[in-house]
Structure 1
């Protein structure tokens, strides 16, 4: 099956430069012209790799890269006319897998794409999945399956579930869960944790009113059942 690539650039001539060649190389191509459109198409189409321009309307390529990395391990190649080494480091630090400076060779672009895809697929093969009862959790892909069917979780919900499932039997306070899921963006109202746990239960439990996976420890917080 052909890999799907998302090409993101607000200059149509750049898309027209890349798209025919990459189609000829065997890739399925979708395109976006703004940062907001790129995030929407990445969410809906789930491409294998994004070729992402730095300078975009609405959201910059750096902002798009940062948002994608909150919930996805999709391949990302930043493409830009910026040649400073610090710019390259910024791109790599926010999660890009590779970085190319305009102008560039289409053959080199295709080679870089294949290199990133091989690396990502190699990581997927060797990754140890976290299995808890009927649930399978991939930390690197930020994805969860139950009976082989993917369960859609928000980034915060995934982080909460991962924190609990990584240490079954350990009781987490509501504040500890908020710290694990939200890092510096912590709400003082600990009922926020209760709301997130409620939504997670509705998605992973057969009967959210009688949870099998996430147990309430009254007066303390929550724990993940050791043998759900």
Structure 2
């Protein structure tokens, strides 16, 4: 994705919009702004942004509703930026179609990294699936093969299923419930210990330190994502 990408910021705080406009334009992005949910939906339709940054606390409608309405007609990447930090709010936003979630206050460098990851994801969403390369890690879904520094990693069926699901959406948070439903079945959506054990085994096999992960990132209480480099 070229850095001439257009981003729509939907936030009712003028100082936040100004801060993000300065930060994003300094990186070469074009920025649209909206202070209400209704204006944001209108600009999303008219401006056709490449990414939407969405606050949940809007004056005219809840950001979750804005998200649901966006998902009725567009798959544009949405990065939620909100003071709401509860696990329930994060999970609801992700289930409503958000691609990522950052809580306020936030670090601008991490925010920009999340933006870049989502723009890459959006630019390849309709492209033929190919091997995913993250540093020395290579995930080839076509061959059902995972290698680390050119050495094949031996994974169980469940371990491969988890890493493959994350590899389909690099940089995007997948909720624990979604992973459990997709891989273990709908009767196991509360069995998060299954997932924690499998993720732990994957990290061991990749030599990925959970305190400073290179590949597999935990979003506490919400889910997991593969680093998108």
> What's the TM-score, normalizing by structure 2?
0.54
Deviations 1:160-194 (A, max 9, x none): xxxxxxxxxxxxxxxxxxxxxxxxxxxxxxxxxxx
Match of 1:79 in 2: 81
Distance in 2, matches of 1:122 and 1:6, equals 20
Match of 1:171 in 2: none
Distance in 1, matches of 2:6 and 2:20, equals 14
Secondary structure of the corresponding residue to residue 114 of structure 1: helix
Match of 1:18 in 2: 20
Deviations 1:89-145 (A, max 9, x none): 001000000000000011111110110111122222128xxxxxxxxxxxxxxxxxx
The answer to whether the 8 A contact 2:7-2:52 is kept is yes
Match of 1:57 in 2: 59
- Aligned residue pair count: 127
Moved over 3 A (4+): none
Report 1:1-228 matches (<5 A).
2-126=4-128
Deviations 1:3-49 (A, max 9, x none): 00001110101111111011001110010000000000000000000
Please list every run of 5 or more consecutive structure 2 residues that lacks an aligned counterpart in the other structure: 130-229
Please list every run of 5 or more consecutive structure 1 residues that lacks an aligned counterpart in the other structure: 128-228
- Supply the RMSD in Å over aligned alpha carbons: 1.1
Distance in 2, matches of 1:59 and 1:44, equals 20
Secondary structure of the corresponding residue to residue 6 of structure 1: strand
Q: Which structure has the larger Rg?
A: 1
Distance in 2, matches of 1:126 and 1:86, equals 34
Secondary structure of the corresponding residue to residue 125 of structure 1: coil
